[in-house]
Chain A
Amino acid sequence: MTYSKGGRCLPSFTALATILGLALAPLVAATPAGAQDRTSVKIGYAVSKTGANAGGAAITTIPNYRLWLHDVEKNGGLELPDGSKLPIELVEYDDRSSAEEVVRAVERLAGQDQVDFILPPWGTGFNLAVAPLFDRYGYPQLAVSSVTDKAPQFVQRWPRSFWFLGGGSDYTGALASLLSAQVEAGTINNKVAMVSVADGFGIDLVSAARPAMAEAGMDVVLDRTYPVGTNDFTTLLNEAAASGADTFVSFSYPPDTFALTEQAQVADYNPKVLYLGVGAGFPPYGRKLGDKAEGIMTLGGIDAKNAQNMAYRERHKEVTGEYPDLWGSVITYASLQMLQEAIRRVGLDREAVSAELSGGTFQTVLGETKLQDNRLRDLWLVGQWQDGQLVGVAPADRPGASEVILPRQPWK
């Protein structure tokens, strides 16, 4: 047999060429369909259905995309300026909580599927990962689930990006001034115990909170960071209790928020102000705690007197089986309504839609909504559980704000 030295190279090479050929053939073959006589509007998104981000996406993002698609369908489709309605053709991908996947999925949506609009992924990091692509291909990016103080710079860099959830200093500034007002009123002392999760969100907020607290005359007596995935907070809570602070602040993720709540009850730890991070605004949180939730504060909140928002909440429950969370969900839905309305006003031209989103005024489930410099600034920055609702208490001068009730009553 002459098949000997180096012989393995060749057959494998043939195999390699075949595989690559097969792999690339569909890419080359696929050409975009004609856009003239369209029968639908193509909308695509990539979102984390599996992996580490799935929990967050399943709360704020996916249900609202579903609800919106449902609502549009019920409405007979997306309305265009000439009054005609087109159904939505949906393209969805799972980014598997991987940055490389989300980038490629957006490239696919833009380059391969040639969708008309792309809805953003979940999370600050992933929204930033895809922002250059949205910009390059001219898609407006309705970045909702990302909290960042750098939004103004991002708008400069990517003029078609829109940032809806504010930045860390918005939330911590509002919290700090709320606290200092309470100190002046003599309700609490000026000491604060602060813990944060060692991940993007926690660090962003705690870095913003340090100067904000100092400026408001608050004294941070405990400032600790714990790793993602921590579920035992006994030590931290003991330290916080021993610190003598009347205010406990945690910039935490949902599992940590739940664990902190449970373990604070066990330790019978009763700070006069209990402010917890993401998760304290989830409806099951309030349901599970019942009366014990009273007085707990967190980011977000709603105006319970806003009838549109309350109707949205019921519809969300009806379509997805659960009430929306009380921070990002309603804003996600509102951003989609803005997109829908902008398309109704100016059609499917992405440039025009971006301009309309940027300058127009919209009626959404939030009420009258208008962006300032591509950012949504009318936000509930601090919410408090009162009578089974997480109501917005800061900014106090925003219409619909509720009065903050402090001190919080001890656990029963």
Chain B
Amino acid sequence: MTLTTALIAGLVLGGTYALVAMGLTLQYGIARIMNLAYGDTIITAAFAAFILQGGLAVNPLLGLALVVPGGFLLSYLIYRLILSHLVARASDRGALEVDSILTTFGLLFVIQGVLLVLFGGNYTSYSFLNVAVDIMGAKVAANRLLALALALSIGLTLYLLLTRTRWGTALRAVAVAPQSAALVGIDVNRAAAFAFALGGGLAAAGGVVISMYQTFTATAGVVFTMKALIVVIMGGVGNLLGALCAGLLLGVVETLVSTYVDPGLTLAATYAIFLVVLLWRPQGLFGRVAR
């Protein structure tokens, strides 16, 4: 396997990680909710896509148009009905972190339980767009390529929106200084709810795309949460482009380790790199030191 093919395979793999991580970085960075149930949102979307595809014969790409707004709405409701009370009550960021970890941990169980009752614990998969695309001699699955394309386009679009529009500036202000943001007339709660919902929508998009090529079970959510969390921390909390780059980087590292070192160490390498980044630059590879 040449270096080029390894790199391409890594980038495509990383596309999935990046796609999954961007929603979490919005939720955690802007809405300040450490959402442990994030992965279960992804799984729920995957099941939704599975139902649409299998039961109603809806093309998963069209399914995106249904599932993503669904994820957005669901997350919005979760924030408004449950999480906003925690935010209102928290005295400082630390307290909110502990509260949100605990609450979303409970939420994780609820979602998982509902999925288990609805679908059972079985492995679920279907296949869509599982055709090879040739990129510079490397054969890549079209569905995974789609994940990469989606990650790149969503990442860049959102980045532009966040940096170039008034609305985006408001969201960023909330991320950096929620108290002061309120002083300059930003409805912090509304902005946070929106960011959280947006994150949920992104998770749903990730879920639909992942369901096209990956086997999932009702209980697999936590795996996605952890992968996403690693990418988010590496990229710098709240940093969309950071998450994008960190996701791609992680994919490349895993593929390189698998190719040149030992496939048995890919996950160990992931965690090792992650720990090193945390120690060396706790603000993330792309985060700024003072925030």
Contact = CB atoms under 8 A, between A and B. Distances in A.
Chains A and B in contact, CB within 8 Å: yes
B125 A238 contact: no
A239 B263 CA distance: 11
B111 to A, nearest CB: 12
A225 interface: yes
B93 interface: no
Given A226-B258, A266-B141, 19 more contacts: A50-B113, A54-B121, A54-B219, A55-B123, A55-B219, A58-B120, A59-B122, A224-B263, A225-B264, A227-B264, A227-B267, A235-B6, A236-B263, A255-B214, A255-B215, A265-B130, A266-B132, A266-B140, A282-B123
Contacts of A288: 125-127
Interface in B171-193: none
Interface of A: 48-52, 54-55, 57-59, 62, 195, 198, 224-227, 229-232, 234-236, 238-239, 242, 254-255, 258-259, 262-263, 265-268, 279, 282, 284, 288, 322
Contact of A238 (B5, B267, B268): B5
Given A255-B123, A259-B215, A262-B130, A235 B1 contact: yes
Interface of B: 1, 5-6, 9, 13, 112-113, 116, 120-123, 125-127, 130-132, 139-141, 213-219, 223, 254-255, 258-259, 262-268
Contacts of A51: 219
B267 A230 contact: yes
Contact of B255 (A49, A235, A279): A235
B27 to A, nearest CB: 23
Contacts of A195: 263
The main secondary structure of chain B at its interface with chain A is mixed
Given A235-B255, A288-B125, A268 B132 contact: yes
Contact of B254 (A49, A52, A232, A255): A232
Nearest to A265: B130
Contacts of B131: 266
B8 to A, nearest CB: 9
Nearest to A255: B215
25 contacts: A49-B121, A51-B219, A52-B219, A55-B121, A58-B122, A195-B263, A227-B266, A227-B267, A230-B266, A230-B267, A232-B255, A234-B13, A235-B6, A235-B9, A235-B259, A236-B263, A238-B5, A255-B123, A258-B125, A259-B215, A262-B127, A266-B130, A284-B125, A288-B126, A322-B122
A65 B259 CA distance: 43
A262 B141 contact: yes
A49 B116 contact: yes
Most chain A CB within 10 A, of B6, B120, B218, B267, is at B120
A235 B13 CA distance: 11
A225 B123 CA distance: 22
Given A55-B123, A55-B217, A229 B223 contact: yes
A50 B214 contact: no
Nearest to A226: B263
B116 A54 contact: yes
Nearest to A49: B121
A62 B121 CA distance: 10
A267 B132 contact: yes
Contact of B219 (A50, A224, A232): A50
Given A224-B263, A226-B263, A279 B116 contact: no
* Top-6 shortest CB links A-B: A54-B121, A58-B121, A255-B215, A266-B141, A234-B9, A226-B263
B247 to A, nearest CB: 13
A234 B255 contact: yes
A332 to B, nearest CB: 16
Contacts of B127: 262, 288
A255 B214 CA distance: 8
Nearest to A238: B1
Contacts of B214: 231, 255, 259
A129 to B, nearest CB: 20
Contacts of A282: 123
Contacts of A242: 1
Contacts of A49: 116, 121
Contacts of B13: 232, 234
B284 to A, nearest CB: 24
Contacts of B9: 232, 234-235
Contacts of B140: 266
A231 B121 CA distance: 19
Contacts of A230: 263, 266-267
A300 B291 CA distance: 59
Contacts of B125: 258, 284, 288
Contacts of A232: 9, 13, 254-255, 258
Nearest to A262: B130
A100 B1 CA distance: 44
A265 B218 CA distance: 26
Contacts of B266: 226-227, 230
Nearest to A230: B266
Nearest to B223: A229
A258 B125 CA distance: 8
Contacts of B258: 226, 232, 235-236
Contacts of B254: 232
Most chain A CB within 10 A, of B121, B131, B217, is at B121
A236 B140 CA distance: 14
Contacts of A231: 214-215
B139 A267 contact: yes
Nearest to A198: B264
Contacts of A262: 127, 130, 141, 213
Contacts of A58: 120-122
A258 B215 contact: yes
A282 B266 CA distance: 28
Nearest to A282: B123
